[in-house]
Amino acid sequence: MEPAGITVNGSQPYDIQVHNPDLFRRVRHQGTLGLGNAYVDRWWDCDCLDEFFCRVLQSGAVRRAGLFLPQVLGTARARLANMQSIGRAFDVGRHHYDLGNDLFEAMLGPTMAYSCGYWKKAATLDEAEQAKYDLTCRKLDLREGMTVLEIGCGWGGFAKYAAETYGVKVIGLTVSAEQAKYAQILCRDLPVEVQLCDYRSFNGQVDAIVSIGMFEHVGVKNYRTYFDVARRSLKDDGLFLLHTIGNVKSTITMDPWMSTHIFPNGMLPSLRQIGEATEGRFVIEDVHNFGPYYNPTLMAWHRNFHAALDAGKLSAQYDDGFARMWDYYLRSCAGAFRARDLQLYQLVLSPQGVAGGYRSVR
């Protein structure tokens, strides 16, 4: 770990403390899957996991390590099967988003936004998430009376904000039963309709489409279908905002540990993959990368999670093993965004090109 400036059993907060010497053999055989599982199993510790991962990724150590068996098997499965088929669409809802609304309420705060905040002028998580909602509405040029399709509506935070602030009707789609129940209650008495369904099942036409933090579950084999659905659902003069975590390199799988424990069947797109899938369907009007803002977002979620855990506000199912898994998830992702290894893209798309050109909003 010398290129990353990390010392085994060192004194810096980003140094790792090894409790089981078999850790190195486990990592050699299983790569990142073994590293993450070993952390959850208390084979090693690190006071500042986020900075550990930032330094490792910036050093290029992960790229030089090569492929490990879990990565090879994951790639083979992704090539041979459609890991994000309609039959598998609800897997991530049951595995992740249905974990418990008490967990997500505590971690996300009142906005219930489970995606990168916009910290340009924000000082708190809530301000950053509200700013992201408003930025999204302004990029779509939402006006009173419009109907908006939200592909992946989460717990209804954006739908509530857009309906209350911009006077639009929102149709929200989710594959999580718990999200659907929560969003229906959150948005009661508002012109918001929440449907528990896969995006491929939607039929209808709307004035605008938004998808925030859902495209990571679509998979490259389904990108063309996804954009076909969006195109047939959007009026010719409408706009589509796609908000997604992105890779700087085209792949077809997610990190094995993340796919196994957090987001089953996930896949992060590159701009190249998005561009190829939109050809003949949409004009890309605007690309906005505010990936660095995911670092403070994730760290705020981490603080909220532990504050609730320490205060005894979460149910007993979130035991020590879960807490370590969640630590690893949030702080490793924060490190990846801090290192600029991962990106956050907001793209604005139009079916036929905006007459006179699209005016970028920041």
Q: In whole angstroms, what is the distance from residue 3 CA to residue 352 CA?
A: 49
Of the candidates 210, 226, 228, which has an alpha carbon nearest to the alpha carbon of residue 141?
210
The full length of the chain comes to 362
Tell the burial category of 108 from Cβ atoms under 10 Å away from its Cβ (0-12, 13-18, 19+). Answer: buried
Ramachandran assignment for 81, one of left (phi > 0), alpha (psi -120 to 50 degrees), beta (any other)? beta
Active site residue 333: yes
Of residues 46, 116, 153, 333, which has the active-site annotation?
Answer: 333
CA dihedral sign, ordered 194, 180, 208, 122: positive
Q: How many CB atoms lie within 10 A of CB 112?
A: 21
Q: What are the catalytic residues?
A: 333
